Chain A
Amino acid sequence: AQKVTQAQTEISVVEKEDVTLDCVYETRDTTYYLFWYKQPPSGELVFLIRRNSFDEQNEISGRYSWNFQKSTSSFNFTITASQVVDSAVYFCALSGLSNTNAGKSTFGDGTTLTVKP
């Protein structure tokens, strides 16, 4: 069984602060994908990043960065110099690579980030 835990239900920061969203996962698959999605108040799910399990290289994209630690089953997401437009619900998700699991992503409960001006 797969499980994704986002322990932080809500986070509130002031604009320009850095913020890290935690994600811990459980899976029996040896190969898998991890994702982060952003869901703004308008409701759509916006893909942010995909990381496969055999690539532990951290990634930076503008103000966003991701820290994948396979040893601790964590895939944390950091927003640097947060902006009001970053306010959204952020979901971490896990997907296996076997035919029975592929695409059947398991989502965490989400972290609601509020960035105040």
Chain B
Amino acid sequence: AAGVIQSPRHLIKEKRETATLKCYPIPRHDTVYWYQQGPGQDPQFLISFYEKMQSDKGSIPDRFSAQQFSDYHSELNMSSLELGDSALYFCASSFLTGAGELFFGEGSRLTVL
């Protein structure tokens, strides 16, 4: 069965650069979530989209933005990268917000040097 696809799996950037992470949810899933997991930390909710509209927002820095496109894939854009942005970024998708389990992608590991 198709799973949540995230790209790239690994990304190395310099401070103050910009990074874009992509997420392709499971087909027919209507909700996408982004989570950030710092080293030794638990995943922290960043933002979610339901039917291409932002549905909820967590602890997402103003330097970050995200959107969901007409084909339901989502992109997380991170600008003016800081060392503290180094983390594993997970995308998850679900069907019927609140009723379905979250299916997580394998994560994108961002390293900021």
Contacts and interface: CB of A to CB of B under 8 A. Distances in A.
Interface in B33-48: 33, 41-45, 48
B98 A98 contact: yes
B88 A99 contact: no
Contact of A102 (B58, B90, B98, B103): B98
Given A50-B101, A109-B42, A103 B31 contact: yes
A35 B100 CA distance: 12
Interface stretch (A40-48, A54-62, A80-88): A40-48
Interface residues of A, number: 25
B33 A45 contact: no
A47 B94 contact: no
A101 interface: yes
B17 interface: no
Task: Name A's interface SS.
Answer: loop
Given A44-B107, A45-B90, A104-B48, A110 B56 contact: no
A75 to B, nearest CB: 15
Interface in B59-113: 88, 90, 92, 94, 97-99, 101-107, 109
A107 B37 CA distance: 11
Contacts of A110: 42
A99 B55 contact: yes
Contacts of A37: 104
Nearest to A6: B42
